[in-house]
Structure 1
């Protein structure tokens, strides 16, 4: 089995697969964007790209992969498309693991947008937004000199951020109180985030709700056609 990972969900899936099928070879593939990724103990990992859908199809055949499990981030649209195409080329079964998107609840102040550029335009002049986006998604915001963003990421960005920005090197907290404290400490006026879904990074959305802050919520890209499972349990069940 080949698991396309880079998410906490993928790590949980690998653990469940190893427990259910200890005799099977399970490969966890990571893009390589993080220098010290968190992976399950003793997991067989592969780092780096495949060379598009055709390269992935070649890998599937060469490694005798019988099942391709796409557990990448909900916004990893490129690899999701490549996985679907590669599975078709190689004649391999594919399942997409996709946790449910967050939904509006009472007290939320969301502005829903479709892309990063639209999210950037949604911020008023003078805003102090918390950009909970990851380092590869900040470029549109660096072009605005009238906002003073707070950016959090695991590793420093390259190139460096503008001097008017504040950088926090940390992983997202699962504690809404810690997220609220961070936003208060830096006088945040808006939260900008992608609708990743799941519980792991929802605390910042809860904190914004409790603080009454506006949230610019970026919608998910379209998911390729094919079987979709929402949870680890659903994937294991579907595999039989």
Structure 2
């Protein structure tokens, strides 16, 4: 039987895992959904764009003789993870979710936990300067923040105007240091930082900067994840693949 592995990518962990699979001479292919127009290159053959639904994903697994799937997508790509886990279960394909631990508040943090983007307006005052570190895909869900100064940072230049008045784009490609973020938040006069609880170390610098500046943070809780085998590190995922 083929040992071909499909890595559902889009995170730093996926990039590292692909490099380790290549170095171990394990047959692997990666898939990027296309959320970023110019993503970093991966070490294995990479397909771009969505699969087109559960049936199309199942067909792809069969056509490419995929033995196992490592889901290393973003923790907020839950619809993709739930679908992928279910398709793999029904088709008898191995499935593992590589899910990094969520962030936990530390002494000095001023977090308010919310469950969805629309809840941010409930806790953020009308004359606040709000920094959205949540990406462009869910931007329209913040429309009820209209009346505040809203700054949305994204990797790619915008292709259409800001979806509501009072908003502006800021283009930046990570990583950002704590010093970078501290200087930026001071220059912009940020009152509130809105963040998805993505976890990991690469993007934690904004939270460390917010703590140093005593900024308030609206932290969006993670959506439900599939009931499936999970690991928290690239090493654990690599060992799982090797044990197949």
Sort the TM-score into its range (normalised by shorter chain): over 0.9
1:214 is matched with which residue: 205, 216, 223? 216
- 1:2–1:69: 8 Å Cα contact kept in structure 2? yes
Gaps of 5+ in 1: none
The residue that corresponds to 1:231 in the other structure is 233
2:183 is matched with which residue: 181, 184, 188? 181
- 1:174–1:202: 8 Å Cα contact kept in structure 2? no
- 2:147–2:165: 8 Å Cα contact kept in structure 1? no
- 1:154–1:171: 8 Å Cα contact kept in structure 2? yes
2:23 is matched with which residue: 11, 14, 19? 19
Aligned pair 1:194/2:193, yes or no? Answer: no
Q: Which runs of 4+ in 1 moved over 4 A?
A: none
> Deviation at 1:172?
3.2
- 1:58–1:90: 8 Å Cα contact kept in structure 2? no
- The TM-score, its normalising length taken from structure 2, stands at 0.93
In structure 2, distance between residues paired with 1:187 and 1:61: 53
The residue that corresponds to 2:51 in the other structure is 50
Q: How large is the Cα RMSD of the aligned pairs?
A: 1.4
Bigger Cα displacement from structure 2, 219-228 vs 133-142: 133-142
For residues 51-90 of structure 1, the aligned pairs below 5 Å read 51-90=52-91
| SS of equivalent residue, structure 1 residue 29 | strand
Superimposed CA distance per residue, residues 169-195 of structure 1 (whole angstroms, 9 cap, x where no aligned partner):
112334111001111111100100000
> Deviation at 1:166?
3.0
In structure 1, distance between residues paired with 2:202 and 2:16: 12
Bigger Cα displacement from structure 2, 43-52 vs 227-236: 43-52
Aligned pair 1:169/2:171, yes or no? Answer: yes
In structure 2, distance between residues paired with 1:121 and 1:231: 36
Superimposed CA distance per residue, residues 186-236 of structure 1 (whole angstroms, 9 cap, x where no aligned partner):
110010000000001000000000100000000001110111010100111
1:38 is matched with which residue: 37, 40, 52? 40
In structure 1, distance between residues paired with 2:41 and 2:207: 26
- 2:146–2:165: 8 Å Cα contact kept in structure 1? no
Gaps of 5+ in 2: none
| SS of equivalent residue, structure 1 residue 135 | coil
- The TM-score, its normalising length taken from structure 1, stands at 0.94
